[in-house]
Amino acid sequence: MGVRSDVVVIGAGQAGLSAAYGLRRAGLAPGSGFVVLDGEDGPGGAWRHRWPTLRVDRAHRIASLPGLPFEPADRTRPAAEIVPAYFDAYERVFDLQVRRPVRVSTVRSTGPDLHVETDAGTWTTRALINATGTWTRPFRPRYPGAETFRGRQLHTVDYNGPEEFAGRRVVVVGGGSSAVQLLMEIATVAAGTTWVTRRPPEFHDEPFGEEYGRAVVARVEERVRAGLPPQSVVSVTGLALTPEVRAAQAAGVLDRLPMFERITPDGVVWADGTSVAADVILWATGWRAALGHLAPLRLRGPGGGIAVDGTRVAADPRIHLVGYGPSASTIGANRAGQAAARDVVALLREPAAA
C-alpha cells in the first residue's frame, strides 16, 4: 500500500517545482495533498550538474519560476551554483517540502491507484506529475570500433571545463548548442579540435524572435501529440550567431565535418578513407527523456513515444509529463507544471473510478 498522497510529483527541477507551486496554490497540503520526490541530494534539478563554465549570463535564458523572480546578484557565476540556490529559496518560500534523495524505481497501477515505488518506500496516489527531465539519461550513439579506441570517450554530462583537454586532440560529436559551447571552450587549450555532426548546423541571427520560438515549440508539440519520441526544444531552435560564435567561425573552430563511419584505436575514419587522429572523443549527443520508471504502465505507443495531449498522457489521464517535449525549456516547464497542476486538481474533484 504505502503512504497515501493525492498527487505525487516526481522530480524537483523547473518543471516539478512549478507543478508543486500550482498544487500548493490550489490548496493542496504537502504530505497528504501532494508530495515531491527528487533523486538529488539537494535543490537545483539538473542545474546542479551543469559544467562550471556554463554561466547564467551565457545561458539561452533562464526563466523565473512562477511567483518568485530569478534575480541573481552576479550573473557571471556558474549556473550550477546560482540556480540551485534560487530553487532552494523557492522551495522554502512556498513550503514545498521536497523529499530527497528519493529515487523512484517503478510506477505501477492497480484500479484507480498508482503505486510509486522508491528507495525510501512506496507512495500511493491518484495522480502523477512526472518531471524527471533528461539529464540522468545521456544519449550516446553507437559507432563501430568505439570499444577499440585507446583514448578517452566522454559525454557532455561528464564535462568539467576545458582544462583537462589542454594539449589533446579532441573530436567533438553533436550539432546542438552544448556541442558548440564545449567546442569553443576546448579549442582555446586543445592541440586541435574536429567538429562532426550528422546534419549541417543551422545558425540563426540573434535574438530568436517570439514567433520563431512558438513555431519550434509547435513542431515538437505535434510530434508528442502523435506519439513520436520528442526532440528537445533547445536542440531544434538552431544555433545562435553570438559574437563569440562568429569569432569561432572566423577562426575555423566551427568548420564542420559530416559524421565519420567508424572509430579506430587512434581516432576516427570516414567512408572515403580520410582519418583524424584523436586523444579524446566528446559525445555532445544529447539526452533522452528519463521515463524508465514508467515502463510497467505501458504508455509507449507504436510510434516509440508517449502520446501526450497538452501535458496529459493520452492513454492514462492520471498521468502528466512536464518538462517533456515542447515543455523542455525553463519557460515551457513553468507553463506545463502549472497546467498539469490545474488538470490534476480537476481530476481529484471527480469521484474515483473503481
- Least separation in angstroms between residue 335's CB and ligand FAD is 11
Distance of closest approach, residue 151 Cβ to ligand FAD, in angstroms? 24
Give the nearest distance from C-beta 94 to ligand FAD in angstroms.
16
Please answer whether residues 318 and 126 qualify as being in contact, where contact means their C-beta atoms are separated by less than 8 angstroms: yes
Q: In angstroms, what is the minimal distance from the CB of 55 to ligand FAD?
A: 10
Q: Which is nearer to ligand FAD, 181 or 193 (CB)?
A: 181
CB of 236 to ligand FAD, least distance (A): 12
Q: Measured from the CB atom, is 80 or 196 closer to ligand FAD? A: 80
Give 159 or 260: the residue with its C-beta nearer to ligand FAD.
Answer: 159
Give the span between the Cα atoms of 174 and 195, in whole angstroms: 8
Q: Choose between 330 and 338: whose C-beta lies nearer to ligand FAD.
A: 330
Residue closer to ligand FAD (CB basis): 234 or 315: 234
CB of 327 to ligand FAD, least distance (A): 8
Output the smallest distance, CB 2 to ligand FAD, in A: 15
Q: Which is nearer to ligand FAD, 44 or 267 (CB)?
A: 44
Which positions touch ligand FAD (CB under 6 A)? 10-16, 37-40, 45-46, 50, 59-63, 103-104, 131-133, 135-136, 178, 234, 290, 293, 323, 328-331, 333
Q: How far is the CB of 281 from ligand FAD (least distance, A)?
A: 19
Give the whole-angstrom CA distance, residue 66 versus residue 341. 13
3-state SS string over the chain? CCEECCEEEECCCHHHHHHHHHHHHCCCCECCCEEEECCCCCCCHHHHHCCCCCEHHHCCCCCCECCECCCCCCCCCEHHHHHHHHHHHHHHHCCCCCECCCCEEEEEEECCEEEEEEECEEEEECEEEECCCCCCCECCCCCCCHHHCCCEEEEHHHCCCHHHHCCCEEEEECCCHHHHHHHHHHHCCCCEEEEEECCCCCEEECCCCHHHHHHHHHHHHHHHHCCCCCCCHHHHCCEEECHHHHHHHHCCCCCEEECCCEEECCEEECCCCCEEECCEEEECCCECCCCHHHHHHCCECCCCCECEECCEECCCCCEEECCCHHHCCHHHHHHHHHHHHHHHHHHHHCCCCC
Give phi and psi for 106, each to the nearest 5: -150, 145
| Residue nearer to ligand FAD on the CB measure, 182 or 228 | 182
- Considering the complex, state which of residue 149 and residue 324 has its C-beta at the smaller distance from ligand FAD: 324
